[in-house]
Structure 1
């Protein structure tokens, strides 16, 4: 799977869950979309093709933005990311 395919898969999973998502899941999904797309764009600009690198970039981006979120929101975002990443 390419970085672009992985990004599309993750974003589609977020979109597919919109109808049944809780408010927390909607928030986390929307928040993660930006981090996922940013990581994919960084990989593309660096000619990086390893999915593991993209995953690391998403995780680092979320960690770097931790101060923007309340502790509960950070936990919700991390849980949603872990859920998406395991699929």
Structure 2
């Protein structure tokens, strides 16, 4: 079964919640960092009526790239955050 936008967002939120409940300190940091970006990107997608998973994933990558280009996080942390984001993706 293919997920819709709301189901995808709910699955990502559930993954964030699970990290808060049982994640390591590093995972909690990454989840908190990503959750801020995710919330803004979801709101932007809703405002633009771009309610597709592809649009959300693209906007999320763009948001992270812009933040990294501004010097948010060092290179190792950037890579860990990217890997963590990919790991949050529902199957």
Fold match, TM over 0.5?
Answer: yes
| d(CA) in 2 for partners of 1:2, 1:46 | 17
Match in the other structure for 2:64: 62
In the TM superposition, structure 1's runs of 4+ consecutive aligned residues that sit over 6 Å from their partners are none
Gaps of 5+ in 1: none
Q: Which runs of 5+ in 2 are unaligned?
A: none
The alignment's TM-score, normalised by the length of structure 1, stands at 0.87
Paired residues for 1:1-87 under 5 Å: 1-66=3-68, 67-87=71-91
The RMSD of aligned alpha carbons is 1.5
Deviation at 1:5, TM superposition (A): 3.1
* CA offsets 1:27-66 (integer angstroms, 9 cap, x no match): 1100010111111111110111211010000111111111
In the superposition, the TM-score normalised over structure 2's length comes to 0.84
Partner SS state of residue 61, structure 1: helix
Paired with 2:8 and 2:90, the residues of 1 have a C-alpha distance of 12
Q: CA deviation at 1:86?
A: 4.8
- Equivalent residues of 2:11, 2:90 under 8 A apart: no
